[in-house]
Structure 1
Amino acid sequence: MRKVIAVLGAGPGLGLSIAHRFGREGFAVALVSRTSARHSAYLKELQGAEARAYAADVRDPEALREVLATITNDLGPIDTVYFGPVTADGGGPIPITDAPAATITAAFETLVHPAVDLVNAVLPDMLARDTGTILIPGGLSGKYPIPMLGALAPASAALRMYVLTLNAALKDRNVYAATLTIGGLIQGGDIHTTATQTYPDVPLPTLNPTDIADAAWTLYVDRAVPEAEFSAIPLPA
């Protein structure tokens, strides 16, 4: 019986690579992004897999629940969700030494709150069916002090711990949560594209999304550990 993966916050980098990897394994793929502008190109790239695309702002709890219900109606119960609604707008990180409380709070609202809304939306059905997987990527600054990422670090740490704690809370159930801890720019993604255009002569810490998607599949199959880590950023000794 074929399963369904919902790739929420789908973009041309990691989201599409996750869709390719799971689609290759026979999953029906639902791509969700804020607009439908690039959906035809995404679906063309996924030829050979059963795939549909939906426009919704998944950071809006009501819109999130509506699109999940539509996917379920169109394709069937959602087995796996990948949640990565990241954008290249908003400017660069503010140094932690200069960050007011409002900036820290805004990072929580951007990174943590939507992930909690996602879990609240999908987990009850997964528990009722006694099956499911939740994959949520996060930043390396949530695990190691990386001053250049500034005020994003507290929210990244909270998101990572939220997923790890969720994994522990579900250890006796057939529902699995894991995080992909990422330190670097995803090749082909919007943030990577913006950065290379802005700094054309600067070597950028870049990661291959295919490698990360392969690791996501391994997490899904093995269900042995709650985290896979990837870094193109030199860490302090």
Structure 2
Amino acid sequence: MAAPVIVVVGAGPGLGAALARRYGREGYAVALVARSPGRLEELGTALQAEGITAGWTAADLTDEGALRAAVTRFGGFSGSIDVLHYNPSVFRERDPLELTAAELLQDVHVGVGGLLTALQAARPFMAAGGRVSATGSMAADAPWHRAASLGVQKAALRNLVRSIDATLRPDGIRAVSVTVNGTLEAGTAFDPDRVAQALFDAARQPEESWRVELPYDG
């Protein structure tokens, strides 16, 4: 039997790497998508050195064609996508008097819009039991005015995940976002490994008591 597959979109050296390792330890093959080819290759080869099956493709998440092609390639190679995780966001330190509408839309494209592209590409390879997860943030509830676009991204992401879950639920596919109510920092309650475990657990909730949004308070 082929290994289950997780696609991690926005896989960086922090939480994305921790989540890839958590699923890898569970026997999943890990497919990574991120913008930086060098950092992506570094992460992928490190995972392989740890005995985790890993593949990767660099893509700008605002390039719909490139992102769609990357996810489709992973699905076509493996034959299935069992978990799609969306991780990216943009931190731009601009308050509402400094932030332009173009910048806001650009940030929302990365933090939210890319999930639509990735989901639509992944859906043909997802079956009942498949899961979609996303990294949420306390910025959705308590935005910092000096990074106004981040709160918009995370509030919109939570909303979109609810719509995704309602759309896919009849087919046995569920979606969840985890609101991280703290700042990621190694060695704390918000260590990336601990947050990754919370995301892993959220995607494995019992179907009969599924919650579309879960808080992680450390």
Amino acid at match of 1:136: A
CA distance in 2, matches of 1:3, 1:102: 39
Task: Give % identity.
Answer: 29
CA distance in 2, matches of 1:154, 1:112: 9
Match of 1:173 in 2: 171
Match of 2:24 in 1: 23
Q: What is the CA deviation profile of residues 112-162 of structure 1, one whole-angstrom value per residue up to 9, with x for unaligned ones?
A: 221222222222442xx3341111213322233544542432332122111
Q: Unmatched 5+ residue regions in structure 2?
A: none
Match of 1:191 in 2: none
CA separation of 1:107 and 1:9: change in aligned 2, threshold 3 A? closer
Shift of 1:169: 3.2
SS of corresponding position for 2:174: strand
Shift of 1:4: 0.6
Q: Unmatched 5+ residue regions in structure 1?
A: 189-204, 233-237
CA RMSD of aligned residues (A): 2.6
CA separation of 1:107 and 1:37: change in aligned 2, threshold 3 A? closer
CA distance in 1, matches of 2:213, 2:100: 30
69, 73, 78: which one aligns with 1:70: 73
Contact kept in structure 1, 2:195 and 2:216, CA below 8 Å: yes
CA distance in 1, matches of 2:156, 2:100: 18
TM-score (norm 2): 0.82
Match of 1:208 in 2: 191
Matched, 1:52 2:55: yes
Match of 2:45 in 1: 43
Shift of 1:27: 0.5
Shift of 1:87: 5.8
Q: Point out the structure with max Rg over C-alpha.
A: 1
Contact kept in structure 2, 1:93 and 1:152, CA below 8 Å: no
Shift of 1:14: 0.6
Matched, 1:227 2:210: no
Match of 1:199 in 2: none
Amino acid at match of 1:179: S
Q: What is the CA deviation profile of residues 7-46 of structure 1, one whole-angstrom value per residue up to 9, with x for unaligned ones?
A: 1221110111111111111101112222331314542245
Q: What is the CA deviation profile of residues 134-193 of structure 1, one whole-angstrom value per residue up to 9, with x for unaligned ones?
A: 1121332223354454243233212211112222333333101111223444336xxxxx
